[in-house]
Amino acid sequence: MIRVTRRDFGALAGVALLARKASAQNEATPLIERAIPSSGERLPAVGLGTARVFDSDDEKTRRAASQVIGTLVEAGGRVIDTASSYGEAESVLGEVMARAGSRDKLFVATKLESPDAAELKRSLARLKTAKVDLLQLHNVSDPQQLLAPFKAWKAQGLCRYIGITSTFHGDFGAIEAVLGRERPDFVQIDYSLEDREAEKRILPLAAEVKAGVLTALPFGRGRLFRAVRGKAIPDWATHFAGSWAQFFLKYLIGDQRVTAVIPGTADPSHMADNLGAMRGVLPDQDERKRMVAFIEGL
């Protein structure tokens, strides 16, 4: 089967960036922000993921990262999510922030593979920062997992918030157990218009324990773009979405339990397009049901 990337999709559909921006979302409208439940601090609802896009520490990657992060900051975005296991992404992000002097403008989240002090020290060094905003334990699979080291690091000022993550549905049972018992500030899971398991299991519990929610893989690893290849956005959706990316992201942001979506990209035009989803109106509940029916009907 031929894989269609978002770049290919845009070319095939004949959609130019100006057309993507010709929507109800424009820079004169307020940003859509969400409060972090444990603190009330507000975050812009669209951020940036770095998995598989900034994993090589070379000049080409650093240049792309600089452009994408510059686009994010200029549009009012703040959230960037990375991980110690994402190749050289932490180093690339650290270098870009240092060059631009943008660390204080960003909400930096990273992930550790284990509660290991040496791994944390390495991540902070690579990111060129004394502390991160959010420190997450990556791919939690043990329902008995404790977060005591993360809580200690938070108390020491090495991070402002702690969280847990998984993009594997087989781990959702463990995520539920740890989320309910340890009550971290954040949980990060995969959630998209085509994959809504998190709506049933994780989001209700996150709301109950007052955990913020970051959503990874909001485009379903590109499957959503392939599903709508060659199709126009439905007329009934054009008042809230000026592009398919905004259509997919606004479905997620339309759930008030979602704190921020974090689509990954190394393309500044795609970053600008994604950021359009944090302006303008959101689909109401009836429209969100219609969005589900539309995708399921393809």
Residue of 250, 229, 256, 231 lying closest to 292 (CA atoms): 250
Per-residue pLDDT of 248-274, as tens digits, reads: 999 999 999 999 999 999 999 999 999
pLDDT of residue 28: 66
pLDDT of residue 65: 97
Domains of the chain by range and CATH? 36-296 (3.20.20.100)
Residue of 166, 162, 139, 134 lying closest to 150 (CA atoms): 162
84 contacts 110 by C-beta, under 8 angstroms: yes
Phi, psi for 136 (deg, rounded to 5): -120, 145
List, for the chain, all residue ranges whose pLDDT scores fall below the cut of 70. Answer: 1-28
The alpha carbons of the chain give a radius of gyration, in whole angstroms, of 18
Q: Which run of H or of E encompasses 275? A: helix 268-275
Which is it for strands 48-49 and 79-81: parallel, antiparallel or unpaired? parallel
Residue of 145, 209, 197, 144 lying closest to 172 (CA atoms): 197
Question: Which tokens go with 249?
Answer: 């992201």
Burial of 247 (0-12, 13-18, 19+ CB in 10 A): buried
- The angle subtended at Cα 275 by Cα 269 and Cα 280, nearest 5°, is 130
Phi, psi for 19 (deg, rounded to 5): -70, -35
Q: What order do you get walking across the sheet with 48-49 strand by strand? A: 48-49, 79-81, 107-112, 132-137, 159-166, 186-190, 212-216, 260-261
Question: What letter represents residue 237's amino acid?
Answer: A
Per-residue pLDDT of 101-153, as tens digits, reads: 999 999 999 999 999 999 999 999 999 999 999 999 999 999 999 999 999 99
pTM above 0.75, yes or no: yes
pLDDT of residue 11: 40
